[in-house]
Every structure is written in C-alpha cells, then in structure tokens.
Amino acid sequence: MKIKDLSTSERPRERLLSSGPQALSNGELLAVLLRNGTSSCNVLEMSRGLLAQCGGKLVRLSQMDFSELSRAPGVGPAKAAVLLAAFELGRRFADERAGAPGRIVTGARTIYDMMVPYLKGITHEECWVLLLDKRMRVFARERLGSGTADEVLIEPREVVRLAMSRGARSLILVHNHPAGNPEPSPGDIRQTEALGRTATACGLRLLDHIIVSDDAFYSLSDEKIYNVGVGV
C-alpha cells in the first residue's frame, strides 16, 4: 500500500503536523526524513524494516556508516546522507545543550552530559581529557586517542604535559566502554592511579575518571555506577 492510500491520520508527515513530532514512533520519524519508499514498499514499511535490522535501536542505526546505510533496502546514497546528517545534528544539539566548554563541574553527571554526545554509540574505546580552571570551569576538551573495542591506552606524562601547556589547574579523564558495562577494568584503575600520581607531582589535580556506556556511567572518584536519567 502506498502512503497516499493511507488515511490522513496514518500518514507520518500529516501526523507530525497535527500532533507534533513527540507523537510519532521512531519508524514514523524515520519515514518523514526518508520521504518516499520504493515500488515494492512504502516509506513507512521501509523505515520499520531499517529499524528492524538494528533491533529497534537508534543507537545501532547511528553506528551504521555511509556504505552500510546505502546498501540497506530502499535507502541508497541520498537517503543515507540524510540519516547521517540527522544524527550529526542531534549530536551537536546535545553538545550545545550540555554547555561545554565554560560549564562549572558540579559532579559526575555534569561530565557525562558533556561527553555522551561524543561517546555514546561508538564501537571502539576513546579517551578524552577535560581541562579545568581554578573556578572548576571546563575550558578545553581534548581527545587523547582511540583504541580497540575493549582497550585504549594513554601516556600519563603526555596528558599532564598537555594540561600544563594549557594552564589547567585540574583535569578529568573520560573514556567509554562500548560493551555496555561501565565498571572499570584493572587496567583502567592502573591508568587512573598512574595519571593521578603524575598530575600530583606536577601540581595538578586529577578530579575524576568517568567511564561512559550507553545506559550508565561510572565515577572512579565516587566509586559508583550511575544509571542514565538518575541525578548525581
């Protein structure tokens, strides 16, 4: 059945205009972005099929690159570009809303909000450092490196050298666990301790090491897991 054969109340674009985007399912929102289907299926069926390929998870859809999206049934290069642009706009919106740099750090949740737009949904580990001034304001955010699906290594002396060259008073380390469990590994603890010792020897403070997963984050300073949506 073609979209035009559906009643007005069933068409995604018309539903968005009459009821607002919040009323639409993920499949309907995708259909609005993709605009049209193929000769064998309408855009709503195509969108639902694309979501089904991802287990119904937008996170998995966001992990698909241009080549993978383009090969999905009915998508092709033009629609793949639209989806990539939509996810990137969402990431940039979340980053603006988090307010970094310039935001005062009040707890682990502040750091999670700043970094989740960069770390959620990626399939490899990345390590970042946040640099803070004497007022506990983040004034810089630097990616230290990327690794494999379960490991990323840093050199404490290089991290401290970077912080000192930028005039930081303190720093916070952040990295992600793509597998989903934010609890630190023995290697994570060793790296944190080594960085803490090096920072202290140079007159800096390592305030925390935050490990981010898709649904939770762990603060080594607090020694506690926080579920997303629960305040620090």
Phi/psi region, residue 13 (left: phi>0; alpha: psi -120 to 50; beta: rest), is alpha
> Which domain, by its residues, includes 191?
99-227
In a domain, 202, yes or no: yes
Same structural domain, 126 and 208: yes
Distance CA 25, CA 21 (A): 9
pLDDT at 125: 93
Same structural domain, 61 and 119: no
Domain boundary among 66, 95, 124: 95
In a domain, 23, yes or no: yes
User: Both tokens of residue 164?
Assistant: 């000192």
Averaged pLDDT score across all residues of the chain:
88
Span 24-42, pLDDT tens digits: 999 999 999 998 888 888 8
Same structural domain, 223 and 113: yes
In a domain, 209, yes or no: yes
In a domain, 220, yes or no: yes
Same structural domain, 53 and 160: no
Span 128-156, pLDDT tens digits: 999 999 999 999 999 999 888 777 889 99
Mean pLDDT of the region 102-108: 83
Domain boundary among 33, 63, 95: 95
What is the pairing mode between strands 216-219 and 170-176? unpaired
Same structural domain, 123 and 65: no
What pTM did the predictor assign? 0.71
In a domain, 139, yes or no: yes
Residue 231 confidence (pLDDT) above 50:
no
Secondary structure element (H or E) that encloses residue 210, with its range:
strand 205-212
Same structural domain, 26 and 134: no
CB count, 10 Å around CB of 41?
16
Q: Which residues pair with 129 in a beta bridge?
A: 142, 173
Residues 6+ apart with CB under 8 A from 2: 37, 42
Same structural domain, 111 and 203: yes
Same structural domain, 88 and 129: no
Residue 229 confidence (pLDDT) above 70:
no
User: What is the domain count for the chain?
Assistant: 2
In a domain, 232, yes or no: no
pLDDT at 232: 42
Domain boundary among 74, 95, 116: 95
Residue 180 belongs to domain with CATH number: 3.40.140.10
Span 64-102, pLDDT tens digits: 889 999 999 889 999 999 999 998 888 788 777 666 667
pLDDT at 117: 85
In a domain, 138, yes or no: yes
Q: Which residues pair with 217 in a beta bridge?
A: 212, 226
Same structural domain, 54 and 157: no
pLDDT at 106: 86
Same structural domain, 66 and 43: yes
In a domain, 123, yes or no: yes
Same structural domain, 90 and 109: no
